[in-house]
Structure formats: structure tokens, C-alpha cells
Structure 1
Amino acid sequence: MLIILVVAALLGYRAISAVPSLLHTPLMSGMNALSGITVVGAVAVFVTAPEGASGWAAAALVLAMINVAGGFWVTERMLRMFKAKSSDITEEEVPWQ
């Protein structure tokens, strides 16, 4: 299992380092969508978990939500890097601010 973890980490690092910096924000948005599916799965496990496993299911749900919230936070910070410097853009044109 440790070998699989090391190989997966090296392949992931190699794949991400090959992505141009301009494409990192859409890549992060896609991963947030995938993390949302993880939250749905954690909710399904929490609802159907037996009495003894409900603590583990709750922990999975909390960790999945932290992952999603952190992903949106990082994506928002990356989007701020592309924000125009001039003040001629109004609030209506950029609704997420």
C-alpha cells in the first residue's frame, strides 16, 4: 500500500506540474465539483450507518465539508489574481464579490 501511495503522489505531482498556471483555476473548480460528490456520499453513509459507525460517518461528513470549503476558498484566491486592477468594473459585472 505504501508503494501505491508513493507512486500515486509522484504521478499526481508530475501531472499537476505539467498544467499551465492559467488552467489551475478551472482545474480547482472541477475538483470542487468532485469533492461535492464526496459530500453526497458521506451524507448517504451517515444516513444509513449502523449505530456503532455513525461517529465515523459524521467524521467523514465533516472532513468532506472542510475539503469543499477549502477548495472554494483557494479557488476564490486564485480568481482574485486575475481580477482587473482598474475600478471601472462594477459590482454587477463581478457577482461573486
Structure 2
Amino acid sequence: MDFISILSIFVLACFVGYYVVWSVTPALHTPLMAVTNAISSVIIVGALIASAEAGDGLAKWLGLAGVVFASINIFGGFAVTERMLA
């Protein structure tokens, strides 16, 4: 795929995500956050697969950084969700 196709998919996903999140009623924000944090685990799987197939050392380090940052996002998101439910 060329750059323009990828960029247009990204922009479309941003608009769809914005309107989906803002149309959710306030009572459903906590479950939505919990599901969003669970979906972030897909990023970890993707980073592990990408870094395992990479031959370059830089790609492996970037895969490790992706795993670390996604893990921080998941654990922090679940902590915030737990505090909202308490």
C-alpha cells in the first residue's frame, strides 16, 4: 500500500473513533475504557511478532519499546478503570 492509502485509513479511523467515543453515554465510559485497554494487548502481540521476524537490531529494540509502552498503557488503564469503579 502506498503512503496516501495508509494516511487516509488513519485519518478515517481517527474521525470514526472520535465520534464513537463522544456518542457513548456517560454510564458506559468505564466499560468502554476497560475494553479499550484489553484491545491494547493486540499491540503487544504485534510488536512481539514484528520484532521476532526482524533481522535488524534497531527493529528488535523498537519492538521491545512497543511492548514496554503498550504494557504501561494496559496496566495504567486498568488501574484507572478500577479506581473509577471503586
Alignment TM-score, normalising by the size of structure 1: 0.64
Give CA deviations for 1:53-93 in whole Å, capped at 9, x if unaligned.
Answer: 2111111111211221222122112212xxxxxxxxxxxxx
The runs of 5 or more residues in structure 1 that have no matched partner are 81-97
* Aligned 1:10-89 pairs, distance under 5 A: 10-52=15-57, 53-80=59-86
The runs of 5 or more residues in structure 2 that have no matched partner are 1-6
Count of aligned positions: 79
Change (3 A) 1:10 1:37: closer
Give the helix-richer structure, 1 or 2: 2
Runs of 4+ aligned structure 1 residues displaced above 3 Å come to 3-11
Percent identity, please. Answer: 44
Alignment TM-score, normalising by the size of structure 2: 0.70
Between 20-29 and 44-53, report the one with greater CA deviation.
44-53
- 1:94 alignment partner in structure 2: none
> Which structure is larger by alpha-carbon Rg, 1 or 2?
1
